Structure 1
Amino acid sequence: MSQTASIDYQTYAKRGFFVGLSLLVIGVVGSVVGHTFFEPLPAWENTLFVGAEFAGLLIGFVSPIVFGIVLPLIE
């Protein structure tokens, strides 16, 4: 018998990808809408949107690789 609980890697990979995608979309839309309607965005808002874009890209690419490929192979 297995000592660890069975983890549904497919669900984690999909959810991680969609979380990353949603962060990327929020960052891009917030940046575009912010610069279009409220031209002088404060520095902290601009940093927040750019950070959300980079975090979304990182999570969106790494999550399927880790949960879809690496962890099932080492289990």
Structure 2
Amino acid sequence: MALAVRYSLRARHEEMELLEYVVRKFGHNKAKEIYISIEKTLDMISKGPEMYRRSKRQEGLRICTFSKQTSIFYRI
């Protein structure tokens, strides 16, 4: 059974900033492609939350490296 994904306000804000930047630099199609990829990654996390490594910095935190520049931090 997949777990529900809940965004923090900061995470939602950072996602919006990322997508706005991509729209400005690369266009709407690339932003849509990235958004879909983020949603697929979050779906994978919800189905298998332990698949990504644990953070060494903070207990209970996990890290999914989404791209060279972007990581998704989450808690189960």
Between Structure 1 and Structure 2, the one with more helix by share is 1
Answer with 1 or 2: which has the greater Rg: 1
How does the TM-score come out when normalised to structure 2? 0.33
Between Structure 1 and Structure 2, the one with more strand by share is 2
How does the TM-score come out when normalised to structure 1? 0.33
